[in-house]
């Protein structure tokens, strides 16, 4: 299959990112020395040139909070100069007293389709981003996420399975807003209890028609390109959500820590080979086109 939409990738300048510019900051994907540098759009295009990517959606990379608009402005300029990316998910602080001043500024950029603030919390300290597991349903978060519909913005929802019941509450309150579950709920390992909790969380979220899941970042916790794991996650996700609520994302250059783009893409294609052409079209193009509306 050609004409793939990559619904989750990053470009960056090291100097703009606190976690890349300064002391090493623990990240859920492990040591990242090889990508502790600029990753410009030209390198991304070279990385994926053999993979059949036709469009791509940029997802925020945690610039300093006060520079949220600078990030989007830089990516918008990059798109105007190179034709890539084709849509942008920016950052907005949904714990602010009122997020609307930030959304007003982001709305000025034609490619912005939504926002992400990472709300994931885990009992393993190295996996945490949010200060508490229930930040996803704190009053300010709920009030600010409710405001997204007035801007036509989606919300990239990044949670671990133990948070998904709370996450479902947030999604249920906002039926006019599209929510995209990042990295398909971040399955950390294949222990039976871990998989059971992950599947239960996905089933809870699957009851909500405005919730979509992104098949991205599947090497995050194993630190390798694992075709069996990719096939397992895709198989369960198709069973639970149906293909029309799933979308592929490369998570490059993070996945570049352990694989190349074509090898990863081949694993995804092999994992979906038994699906119908309609299912494959949904996963690799149609869902992302519908949700993110890349130009």
Please give the backbone phi and psi of residue 9, each rounded to the nearest 5 degrees, phi first.
-145, 170
State the Cα–Cα distance between residues 275 and 238, nearest whole angstrom: 9
Longest dimension (CA), the chain: 48
Judged by phi (left if over 0) then psi (alpha if -120 to 50, else beta), residue 3 lies in left
Task: Output the CATH code of domain 4-292.
Answer: 3.20.20.140
Task: Give the integer Cα–Cα distance in Å for 116 and 292.
Answer: 13
Q: What spatial distance separates the first Cα and last Cα of the chain, rounded to whole Å?
A: 20
Q: Is cis: bond before 74, omega within 30 of 0?
A: no
CA 225 to chain centre: 18
CA distance 74 to 249: 21
pLDDT tens for the chain, residues 1 to 295:
568 999 999 999 999 999 999 898 889 999 999 999 999 999 999 999 999 999 999 999 999 999 999 999 999 999 999 999 999 999 999 999 999 999 999 999 999 999 999 999 999 999 999 999 999 999 999 999 999 999 999 999 999 999 999 999 999 999 999 999 999 999 999 999 999 999 999 999 999 999 999 999 999 999 999 999 999 999 999 999 999 999 999 999 999 999 999 999 999 999 999 999 999 999 999 999 999 999 9
Tokens in use for 161?
A: 């399975």
């Amino acid at each position: 299959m050609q004409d793939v939409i990559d619904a989750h990738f990053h470009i960056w300048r090291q100097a703009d990112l606190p976690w890349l510019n300064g002391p090493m900051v623990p990240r859920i994907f492990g040591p990242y020395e090889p990508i502790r540098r600029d990753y410009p759009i030209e390198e991304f295009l070279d990385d994926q040139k053999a993979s059949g990517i036709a469009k791509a959606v940029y997802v925020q990379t945690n610039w300093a909070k006060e520079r949220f608009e600078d990030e989007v402005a830089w990516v918008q300029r990059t798109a105007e100069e190179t034709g890539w990316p084709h849509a942008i998910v920016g950052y907005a602080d949904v714990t602010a007293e009122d997020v609307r001043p930030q959304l007003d500024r982001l709305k000025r950029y034609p490619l912005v389709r939504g926002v992400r603030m990472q709300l994931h919390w885990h009992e393993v300290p190295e996996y945490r981003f949010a200060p508490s597991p229930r930040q996803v349903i704190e009053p300010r978060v709920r009030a600010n996420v409710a405001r997204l519909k007035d801007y036509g913005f989606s919300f990239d929802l990044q949670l671990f399975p133990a948070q998904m019941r709370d996450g479902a509450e947030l999604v249920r309150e906002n039926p006019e807003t599209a929510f995209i579950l990042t990295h398909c709920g971040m399955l950390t390992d294949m222990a039976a209890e871990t998989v059971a909790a992950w599947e239960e969380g996905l089933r809870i979220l699957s009851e909500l028609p405005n919730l979509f899941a992104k098949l991205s970042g599947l090497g995050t916790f194993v630190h390798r390109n694992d075709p069996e794991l990719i096939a397992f996650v895709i198989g369960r996700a198709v069973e639970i959500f149906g293909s029309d609520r799933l979308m592929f994302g490369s998570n490059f250059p993070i996945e570049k820590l352990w694989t190349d783009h074509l090898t990863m893409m081949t694993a995804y294609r092999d994992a979906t080979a038994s699906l119908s052409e309609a299912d494959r079209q949904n996963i690799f193009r149609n869902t992302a086109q519908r949700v993110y509306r890349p130009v």
